[in-house]
Amino acid sequence: MLEEKFNSLIKLIGKTPLIRIRYKYNGCIKTACCKAEWYNLSGSIKDRVAYYILKDAYEKGLINENSTIVEVTSGNMGISFAAVSRYLGNKMVAVMPKFMSEERFKILRMYGAELDLTESFEAAFEKAETYKEKGAFLPYQFENKINALAHYETTAPEIEIQTDKYPCFIAGVGTSGTLHGCGKYFKEKYGSKVFALEPLQSSILTLGKSLGSHKIQGLSDEIIPGLYPKELVDDIIRVDDNDAICMAQKLAKTFGIGVGISAGANFLGCVISNMDGALTVFADDNKKYLSTALSDNSLKSKFVDDIELIDFEVVRFND
């Protein structure tokens, strides 16, 4: 019965479209290849990871139908665990800072998850350990190697099929699973460059400690994750959070492609890389950000204004 559930669930995860966006910047026309990950079960790339981690935990006997799943999250991973857990019959508790967007709290509750809100990510990590002492299963997304494996075995091979150039892979660093898994895949097979992206306002990867808060939810969660593949990373790209927001807004207003703030940052990473055919992901869409600065139409960015979005082509996985 459980195997049948996993076999059914995987049909709603992965095999997402790839959007090839042509743009002009500094007089040059280039293409960015962006994986549209909001087509997954709960609307983000994290569904791949939640599926992989919980399936592995069941197969190893680490959890059963009576287990409680508890995870520290900034939103998307918690939502993915909540969706997958409910289908499997498990209780899920999301431990997260209270300053995340209100939409995330509401979506988690809609999936039946319990929320335990804290003042900071540091406090959230400490709080999660108290649940472990009571027998809960903690996926440890920031250090669990299966997080990266999910992308090495699904996201990267899908991208490989959907395009024919692999100059570099770029991803914002939250847990680092996407960067690690996809970066390793493309570097091993094609010698691709790997660029880690972080908010300029945090710069934790560059400096080793965070400079402060930023508006790109899901990236730079006050720690350098254990999964961060320093040995794979060729360079770190820093993106201003205001620029990221304006880029996400421009994608929506120009193409009708409504994406989250991290997607705006990742697209700018492709532009900054100066590589034609740069590979990245649009982790989620814009619906979790209605109460954030993403809906503020008064923001301006000269950098984003200087980027001309020309057109796009969609490559479905089976095309």
pLDDT attached to residue 225 = 82
- Whether 232 has a pLDDT exceeding 60, the answer reads yes
**Could you tell me if residue 145 is inside a domain?**
no
Catalytic residue numbers, as ranges: 46, 262
Query: How high is the pLDDT of residue 164?
Result: 96
Of the pLDDT bands very low, low, confident and very high (cuts 50, 70, 90), residue 196 is very high
Same domain, 161 and 29: yes
Tell me the average pLDDT across 236-249.
95
Q: Is 178 found in the same domain as 55? A: no
Torsion of CA 246, 74, 184, 35, to 10 degrees: -50
Give the global pTM: 0.94
H or E element that contains 118: strand 114-118
Residue 63 lies in a domain: yes
Considering the domain architecture, whether residues 156 and 270 belong to the same structural domain is answered as yes
Q: Are residues 69 and 199 in the same domain?
A: no
Cβ-based neighbour number of residue 191 at 10 Å: 9
**pLDDT given at position 88:** 95
Please determine, for residue 238, whether its predicted confidence score (pLDDT) is greater than 60.
yes
Name the residue range of residue 52's domain.
46-132
Determine the average pLDDT of the residues in 251-273: 97
Q: What is the pLDDT of residues 65-102, one digit of tens each?
A: 999 999 998 789 999 999 999 999 999 999 999 988 88
> CB of 117 within 8 A of CB of 101?
no
Q: Where do runs of H (alpha helix) occur along 163-235? A: 177-190, 204-207
Give residue 221's pLDDT: 61
- Nearest Cα neighbor of 288 from 70, 20, 50, 73 is 73
Flag whether pLDDT at 158 surpasses 70.
yes
171 plus 302 within the same structural domain: yes
- Clarify whether residues 225 and 120 are in a common domain: no
What does each C-alpha distance from 313 to 20, 22, 23, 32, 307 come to in angstroms? 5, 8, 12, 11, 18
Q: Give the bridge partners for 72, in sequence order.
A: 95
Does residue 147 fall inside a structural domain?
A: no
Q: Is the pLDDT of residue 319 over 60?
A: no
Q: Are residues 55 and 96 in the same domain?
A: yes
- The CA distances from residue 130 to 87, 138, 218, 280, in Å, are 25, 11, 24, 36
Q: What mean pLDDT do residues 265-287 have?
A: 97
For residues 196-219, average pLDDT: 75
Q: CB within 8 A of 58, min separation 6: which ones? A: 2, 6, 64, 88
Q: What is the pLDDT of residue 134?
A: 93
Both 283 and 174 in one domain: the answer is yes
Please tell me the distance from the alpha carbon of residue 117 to that of residue 98, in angstroms, as a whole number. 5
Question: Of 132, 164, 192, which residue constitutes the final position of a domain?
Answer: 132
* 84 within a domain of the structure (yes/no): yes
- The domain that holds 64 is classified in CATH as 3.40.50.1100
- 169 and 234 share a domain? yes
Residue 170 has pLDDT above 90, yes or no: yes
Question: What's the pLDDT at 214?
Answer: 65
Residues 191 and 298 in one domain: yes
Compute CA distances 60 → 141, 152, 244, 288, whole Å: 17, 21, 40, 34
| Domain membership flag for residue 77 | yes
Query: How far, in Å, CA of 319 to CA of 317, rounded?
Result: 6
DSSP string over 218-252: TS--SS--TT--TTT-SEEEEE-HHHHHHHHHHHH
In this prediction, residues 271-297 reach a mean pLDDT of 94
- In this structure, is residue 173 part of a structural domain? yes
198 found inside a domain: yes
- Mean pLDDT of the region 201-217: 71
Sign for the pseudo-dihedral over CA of 126, 129, 134, 136: positive
Can you give the pLDDT at residue 64?
A: 94
Cβ count within 10 A of residue 135: 9
Residue 211 clears pLDDT 70, i.e. is over it = no
Q: Which residue, among 272, 134, 152, has the nearest Cα to 200 in the 3D structure?
A: 272
Q: Is the pLDDT of residue 8 over 90?
A: yes
Residues 194 and 301 in one domain: yes
Average pLDDT over residues 189-194: 98
pLDDT above 90: percentage of residues in the chain: 79
Residue 142 domain-assigned (yes or no): no
Same domain? For 202 and 295 the reply is: yes
What's the average model confidence in pLDDT over 277-290? 95
Binning pLDDT at 50, 70 and 90, where does residue 47 land? very high
To the nearest 10 degrees (0 to 180), the angle between helices 2-9 and 46-59 is 160
Cα-based angle 106, 112, 113 (whole degrees, multiple of 5): 75
The whole-number pLDDT of residue 275 equals 98
Give the amino acid at 311: D
Domain count, the chain: 2
For residue 40, what are its two tokens? Answer: 């997954």
pLDDT of 28: 98
